[in-house]
């Protein structure tokens, strides 16, 4: 029993951050692509940190992973082939597999170390990467997208911020590539950061995705360990509108955040966020 207190502090902006008491740091290394840390915290359980930014924690991961996966999968009537770009921790894949129509879920992460350490230290998140419906590919998502035309029903981009290896994943060229990799009625969704400190990013992504997809919608969720606690997701769709879904027909699946009752409500944006999408 040590009397020494260790705290992880993340400056989420130059002038604001979160701080959490930690038990130990299991991993801290430079991979071929980014700085990776796996830390055991008191409040949030084990936590994955990439380039100094919290990616996921055992306690609050369900919000992000459910909200990446379910709104698009419950908008597409028959999502058989799903691609997750990034997301090496496996959390989005776990949620995707809750949909019985999904025949194949492909994960493409550029950094094999994220997958390896997630399996070791975040088993409740990464455990489903072993599922027979899952194919794990260690590769650049940008390249994978451009090599697969007319292939996927739903593509989910679970990337880090647009710094480091993810910078290409926030370009119009990438969105056009995704459009081409989707089937004729495909849906795309990406995490698009928070409106308090990254308003410019949300606006520019929204503008770019609108140039590629006919239907573009932004929705939100609360994630305590992400900057401001308010996260946005941008959906681009060729045919199906998430707001045209009959919520009463959405089956109940086992979740802790998403519900059919929340499906459309998540798209009702605070005024200052709504203004970023105009």
> How far, in whole angstroms, is CA 147 from its chain's centroid?
22
Stretch that binds a copy of itself, among 141-149, 168-176, 177-185, 218-226 (CB under 8 A): 218-226
Binding status of residue 258 toward a copy of itself by CB under 8 A:
yes
Among 2, 14, 132, 248, binds a copy of itself (CB under 8 A): 14
Over the range 85-124, which residues count as b (16 or more CB within 10 Å of their CB) and which as e?
Answer: bbbbbbbbbbbbbbbeebeebbbbbbbbbbbbbbbebbee
Instruction: Give residues 17-46 in contact with a copy of itself (rule: CB under 8 A).
Output: 17-21, 41-44
Look up 147 and say whether it is catalytic.
no
Among 228, 239, 240, 250, binds a copy of itself (CB under 8 A): 228
Distance CA 61, CA 66 (A): 8
Instruction: Give residues 189-208 in contact with a copy of itself (rule: CB under 8 A).
Output: 196
Cβ 2 to a copy of itself, closest distance in Å? Answer: 15
Q: Which segments are annotated as binding site for S-methyl-5'-thioadenosine?
A: 34, 109, 140-141, 165
Among 204, 222, 240, 241, binds a copy of itself (CB under 8 A): 222
Binding status of residue 53 toward a copy of itself by CB under 8 A:
no
Contacts of 52 (CB under 8 A, 6+ apart): 10, 35
Binding status of residue 103 toward a copy of itself by CB under 8 A:
no
Specify burial of residue 151 (Cβ count, 10 A radius: 0-12, 13-18, 19+). Answer: middle
The DSSP code for 87 is -
115 in Cβ contact with 126 (< 8 Å): yes
Chain contacts with a copy of itself (rule: CB under 8 A): 9, 13-21, 41-44, 60, 63, 196, 220-224, 228-230, 255-259, 261-262, 264-272, 274
């Amino acid at each position: 029993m040590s009397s020494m207190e260790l705290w992880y502090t993340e400056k989420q902006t130059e002038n604001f951050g979160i701080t959490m008491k930690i038990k130990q740091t299991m991993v801290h290394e430079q991979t071929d692509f980014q700085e990776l840390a796996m830390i055991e915290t008191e409040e949030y359980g084990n936590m994955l940190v990439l380039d100094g930014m919290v990616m996921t924690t055992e306690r609050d991961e369900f919000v992000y992973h459910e909200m990446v996966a379910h709104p698009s999968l419950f908008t597409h009537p028959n999502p058989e082939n799903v691609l997750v770009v990034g997301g090496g921790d496996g959390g989005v894949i776990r949620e995707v597999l809750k949909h019985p129509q999904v025949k194949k879920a492909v994960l493409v992460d550029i950094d094999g170390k994220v997958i390896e350490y997630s399996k070791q230290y975040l088993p409740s998140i990464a455990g489903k990467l072993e599922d027979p419906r899952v194919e794990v590919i260690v590769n650049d998502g940008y390249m994978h997208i451009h090599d697969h035309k007319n292939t996927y029903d739903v593509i989910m981009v679970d990337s880090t911020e647009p710094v480091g290896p993810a910078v290409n994943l926030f370009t119009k060229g990438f969105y056009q590539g995704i459009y081409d990799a989707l089937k004729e009625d495909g849906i795309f969704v990406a995490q698009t950061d928070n409106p308090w400190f990254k308003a410019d990013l949300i606006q520019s992504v929204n503008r770019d995705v609108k140039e590629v997809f006919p239907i573009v919608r932004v929705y939100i969720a609360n994630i305590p360990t992400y900057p401001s606690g308010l996260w946005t997701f941008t959906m681009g769709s060729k045919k199906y509108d998430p707001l045209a879904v009959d919520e009463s027909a959405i089956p109940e699946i086992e979740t802790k955040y998403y519900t059919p009752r929340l499906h459309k409500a998540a798209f009702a944006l605070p005024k200052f966020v709504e203004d970023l999408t105009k």
